[in-house]
Amino acid sequence: MSRPPILWSIAGLDTAGGAGLSADQRAADALGVHLCPVVAAMTAQHSMGVQAVQPVTSAWLDAQLRALMQDMPPAVIKTGLLGSAELVHAVARWVDRLRADHPERPVALVVDPVLNASAGGTAFASEAVLDAYQRHLLPRATLLTPNRAEARRLLGIPPSHEGPRDEVPDLAAALRLLGAENVAITGGDAIGGDTLHCLDWIDTDQAHGWLCAPRVDTHHHHGTGCTFATGAAAALALGHTPADALVLAKMLTHHALTNSHAAGQGPGPVIATPGFAHGIRHGGAPLPWLGLGRELPWRLLHGTAHETPLFQAFEPPADGLYGIVDTGERITQALHAGLRCLQLRHKARQGVRAHLDQAIDASQQAGAALFINDHWRETLAALPPPGSGPNARVGLHLGQEDLLALGTTDRRTLLDSRHRLMLGLSSHSLWELARAAGCGASLIACGPVLPTTTKDMPWRPQGEDNLRWWVAHSPVPVVAIGGLLTPADLRRFAACGPAALCVVRGLGADAHALQATVPVLGQAVADGRATALPDGPSLGYSARPPLPHPVL
């Protein structure tokens, strides 16, 4: 068994056992990361508030870190309550030392700026501490995770959880200008507005937008900020990008809130457990939704249920085959060979309308599902009017870079077509999976599942483990794509449970090859499905469900 990565948490000791190092330990354990609890401050507190705070000396902090450095150097350092400017300076020195010693794998720093207790009582941060954060920790932070009031305070603005939602992205941008590489401003403490969802704003090198999950109706929320920050730090230690780490942290925190309990007269602790990763159908956390830019996720705006697409529903083909071809003629040939789920991927814009018309007409007559890759304006113009014949099962398939490139008017046009159109979206990462779900896609493609030369892309292959994770957590059908060439490939990945498997080059070069290949591929899918593991934590998963592996 390989050793888990090491995470140092430099934070406060909560005598009530709810927040600080207690919450950090539970969060790290839930993700399978070894946490080294480093005491920066001792607190006297109970569930109704903090009565006293005593920071340790910088000499005592140095002694703890020197001991760990000799035997257990960190992949990531996470800070919580520090309590004095002297300790902030000490942490900054240690980060610099560790990064200088190992420039090939610089230690990441996650800063949870604990400036006051959510339960009330003694404040933690003087002006000197705030200045030290601004000068020494923010410029070194890989990820900063304040709530809104803490973000404002770090920027010299009176702290408040109230105010217009549009202020939050501006706060995050300002914090990045102070040096933080990535920022997540959590919204669990927000007052007013949407009471049904918890909205966090993430601003990372990979993605930015509103990361949303249903708000958990509980009085017991002590330790949520610590759980979120440590969950993200643990995911970074496992090799995930900041954006993917924040998706996992959001899921972990949501699930921890559902497991919270009373411990005293005030708010009780949240309890992070590995079960967050089981998937919502088996008691785990729901996949959060990520919006497009500053827009809230379309699903949230239009109120669809978790497993109901916003666009027209996709009915997976019985044989599990999703063929991708480049011309209208090839669509016709594939239909004659028996395929009933196809994508027209015709890259050239010139002459595309003729291919569209042929593909739509042929698939409509065959009762097949047809997706058009990229050409969304031409597809909307080519859709047959309602009542003109057999119902057309037509959809668009877009890469997320194409979706993000659409302007506000174009997005509105696409969204207004949702009642007569399916939407397929590609995804290569957890944040793209969350964004596709937030857009209300009819299906989500997971790829590349194997190395592929069809497209030049930076992503690591998803493999069986990530494909299974996508299937378990996506609210809509998942199709596997990328590198699927042979019957053996399809047999292997059909066992992971996708609704369909996309085949491009594996279909052959002509009509004769299609006629010969399709039955063989269909049998391979059937054979793979017959070997699939039973679904659910009691049948197919261990007590600690597997996490997805990093993709970049």
Domain boundaries, position 374? 301-530
Q: Which of 248, 212, 184 is nearest to 33 (CA)?
A: 248
Q: For 356-401, what is each residue's pLDDT tens digit?
A: 999 999 999 999 999 999 999 999 999 977 766 556 699 999 999 9
Average pLDDT over residues 20-39: 98
* pLDDT(466) > 50: yes
Q: For 219-229, what is each residue's pLDDT tens digit?
A: 999 999 999 99
How many angstroms separate the CA atoms of 148 and 187, rounded? 7
**Is residue 53 included in any domain, yes or no?**
yes
Q: In this structure, are 179 and 113 located in the same domain?
A: yes
Q: In this structure, are 262 and 376 located in the same domain?
A: no
Domain end, chosen from 258, 286, 314, is at 286
C-alpha atoms less than 13 angstroms from C-alpha of 68 in its C-beta half-sphere: 24
Give the model's pLDDT for residue 541.
46
CB atoms within 10 A of CB 280: 17
More confident residue, 117 or 494: 494
Q: In this structure, are 232 and 369 located in the same domain?
A: no
Q: In this structure, are 132 and 208 located in the same domain?
A: yes
Count of domains for the chain: 2
Q: Mind giving me the DSSP string for 273-309?
A: -GGGGG-GGGTSPPPPEE-SBTSPPHHHHHT--TTS-
**Is residue 293 included in any domain, yes or no?**
no
**Is residue 89 included in any domain, yes or no?**
yes
Helix, strand counts (H, E) of the chain: 18, 18
Q: Which of 447, 429, 445 is nearest to 483 (CA)?
A: 447
* pLDDT(307) > 80: no
Q: Which of 407, 432, 487 is nearest to 424 (CA)?
A: 432
Q: In this structure, are 113 and 65 located in the same domain?
A: yes
C-alpha atoms less than 13 angstroms from C-alpha of 239 in its C-beta half-sphere: 10
Q: In this structure, are 128 and 23 located in the same domain?
A: yes
Give the model's pLDDT for residue 306.
72
Q: In this structure, are 131 and 186 located in the same domain?
A: yes
Classify residue 163 as left (phi > 0), alpha (psi -120 to 50) or beta: left
pTM of the predicted structure, to 2 decimals:
0.96
* pLDDT(267) > 70: yes
**Is residue 538 included in any domain, yes or no?**
no
Q: Which of 1-10, 160-169, 277-286, 519-528: highest mean pLDDT?
A: 519-528
Q: In this structure, are 282 and 305 located in the same domain?
A: no
Q: In this structure, are 319 and 274 located in the same domain?
A: no
How many angstroms separate the CA atoms of 186 and 169, rounded? 11
* pLDDT(540) > 50: no
* pLDDT(409) > 90: yes
| 489 pLDDT tier (thresholds 50, 70, 90) | very high
Q: For 496-518, what is each residue's pLDDT tens digit?
A: 999 999 999 999 999 999 999 99
How many angstroms separate the CA atoms of 499 and 478, rounded? 6
Average pLDDT over residues 26-32: 98
Give the model's pLDDT for residue 189.
75
Q: How far is CA 446 from CA 9, 456, 547, in A?
A: 34, 16, 16
Q: In this structure, are 278 and 316 located in the same domain?
A: no
**Is residue 474 included in any domain, yes or no?**
yes
Domain end, chosen from 259, 286, 313, is at 286
* pLDDT(537) > 60: no
What CATH number did the domain enclosing 386 receive? 3.20.20.70
Q: In this structure, are 140 and 216 located in the same domain?
A: yes
Per the CB < 8 A criterion, the answer to whether 324 and 502 are in contact is: yes
As to burial, measured by CB atoms within 10 angstroms (0-12 exposed, 13-18 middle, 19+ buried), residue 117 is buried
As to burial, measured by CB atoms within 10 angstroms (0-12 exposed, 13-18 middle, 19+ buried), residue 103 is exposed
How many angstroms separate the CA atoms of 167 and 161, rounded? 11
Helix (H) or strand (E) holding 268: none
Q: For 422-447, what is each residue's pLDDT tens digit?
A: 999 999 999 999 999 999 999 999 99
As to burial, measured by CB atoms within 10 angstroms (0-12 exposed, 13-18 middle, 19+ buried), residue 407 is exposed
Domain end, chosen from 286, 315, 348, is at 286
What CATH number did the domain enclosing 129 receive? 3.40.1190.20
Task: Supply the DSSP symbol for 56.
Answer: P
**Is residue 67 included in any domain, yes or no?**
yes
Give the model's pLDDT for residue 539.
39
Q: In this structure, are 20 and 67 located in the same domain?
A: yes
Give the model's pLDDT for residue 72.
98
Give me the chain's average pLDDT, please.
Answer: 94
| 123 pLDDT tier (thresholds 50, 70, 90) | low
**Is residue 535 included in any domain, yes or no?**
no
How many angstroms separate the CA atoms of 24 and 57, rounded? 22
Cβ neighbours for 198, distance < 8 A, ≥ 6 positions apart: 186, 187, 188, 190, 212, 213, 214, 215, 216, 254
Average pLDDT over residues 456-470: 94
* pLDDT(536) > 80: no
Cβ neighbours for 371, distance < 8 A, ≥ 6 positions apart: 342, 343, 344, 394, 395, 396, 397, 422, 424
Percent of the chain exceeding pLDDT 90 equals: 87
**Is residue 196 included in any domain, yes or no?**
yes
